[in-house]
Structures are given as structure tokens and as C-alpha cells.
Amino acid sequence: MRLLTGLLLSTTSLAAMALEFTPGDILSQWDRHSFQGDTRYQRVEVDGQAALHAVCNDATASGLFYREEIDLRETPVMEWRWRVDDTFRDIDETTRAGDDYPARIYVVEEHRVLRWRTRAVNYVWSSMQAAGNHWENAYASQARMIAIRGPEDTGEGWRTERRNVREDFQRFHGRSPERINAVAIMTDCDDTGQTAEAWYGEIRFLSED
């Protein structure tokens, strides 16, 4: 799946505070972008809680994007909830033919003038890789893929994750940005042609405390 490069629009700095996006916020306020057709996203209730349900079954790849600056000096920690009950079969996610994920959340540090300096970190629910593995994206070497969950974690209900985004940029890209310019969710199946389904809960940016 081709990643976001040069897509972001003008940004607005946010005051230093914790940010929280509910599934309803993500669906109604984030921008839609299609790389290939349209993955279906809708707000649902799961276990009595709001969730964003993603279904990909027609070789589609589209996501929902929040395109405003997030200050990593004040809120470097991203916390989110997600759920995947099944993953893709017999794929190689390090190749273009296998570059699909039932669930991913990614963050982007964009350079609109020097676009070759744009970097992204993708937190993915992997179909083949064990949690903790990481690799370059098959389409864009400036994007790093990190398996937060693997196939062994499917069917276990909701999982809550926490990552220090600024530290991950330092680890995987050798830089410690003061801010990112976008965060996105995406469930895609355009390269494999298989079926994917996922649920996303709240996404929050927090201080290290």
C-alpha cells in the first residue's frame, strides 16, 4: 500500500494538552483519503462501547486522516484501543504484494519543501510477523513498519497499546521531531485481495507522566 507522501495540507499548531479522539470524532472529523477504492468505516457499539468498524473486502485501501500538528514535546505518548479477530493468510508483508494490514495506525512527520525528508512510523497488527518485529515499508523506505500485535493475538478481544512516538522516531529514523503533522488509521486489502475486518477505539496523545 502506497504511503502518505506529500499529501498533507496546511497545518495548525495545537496548544499543549492531551488530545483524545473518540470513534465518532474519527469518523466525522478526520479526512477520508482513498489510495484504491474505499474501505468501509462506520461507528458501531461493541461490548457496550463505541467503536469504529472497518471492513475491507473488495481490494480497497483507504484511511481516515487527522492533519494538524501534534506537539510531541508535550504529548509524545500515543495510546489507542483496537481489535482484530482474524488476519491475512500466507502473505509476505515485506513485499509489495503483501503490504496489507487488517489494522494500522500511523504517524507522519512531513516536510513539505524537502519531501524526501518526510518520515512515517506505522504501528500495525501483523498477519505474519511476531509482535516487536519491524521492517521498511515495501513502497517507501522512509516509512517504518512496527508489529505491535501479531497473528497470535487475534480473537482475543480489545487490546490497549501505548507508544512513545518521539522515541520511536529516534529509534527507527534517527531523529526526535518536536511535532508530527498527521495521524491516520487504515485497514487495507488492495495488494492481497483478501478480506480484512478491524475495530478501532479511542486514540489519545498524552504526556509522559
Q: Is the pLDDT assigned to residue 149 strictly greater than 70?
A: yes
Query: What pLDDT shows up at residue 112?
Result: 63
Domains of the chain in sequence order: 34-206 (2.60.120)
**Cα-based distances in Å from 55 to 50, 63, 89, 127, 178:** 16, 11, 16, 16, 34
Mean pLDDT over each residue of the chain, to the nearest integer: 91
- Give the distance, in angstroms, between the CA of residue 121 and the centroid of all CA atoms in the same chain: 8
Distance, in Å, from the CA atom of 202 to the CA atom of 79, rounded to the nearest integer, reads: 8
Q: Is the pLDDT assigned to residue 7 strictly greater than 90?
A: no
**Cα-based distances in Å from 23 to 43, 49, 107, 118, 182:** 7, 10, 17, 27, 17
For the record, the C-alpha cell of 90 comes out as 500466507
- 28 exposure class (CB count in 10 Å sphere: 0-12, 13-18, 19+): exposed
Q: Calculate what percentage of the chain has a pLDDT beyond 90.
A: 86
Query: What pLDDT shows up at residue 110?
Result: 81
Q: Give residue 15's pLDDT band: very low, low, confident or very high (50, 70, 90).
A: very low
Q: What is the pLDDT of residues 31-52, one digit of tens each?
A: 999 999 999 999 999 988 899 9
Query: What pLDDT shows up at residue 152?
Result: 94
Query: What pLDDT shows up at residue 4?
Result: 46
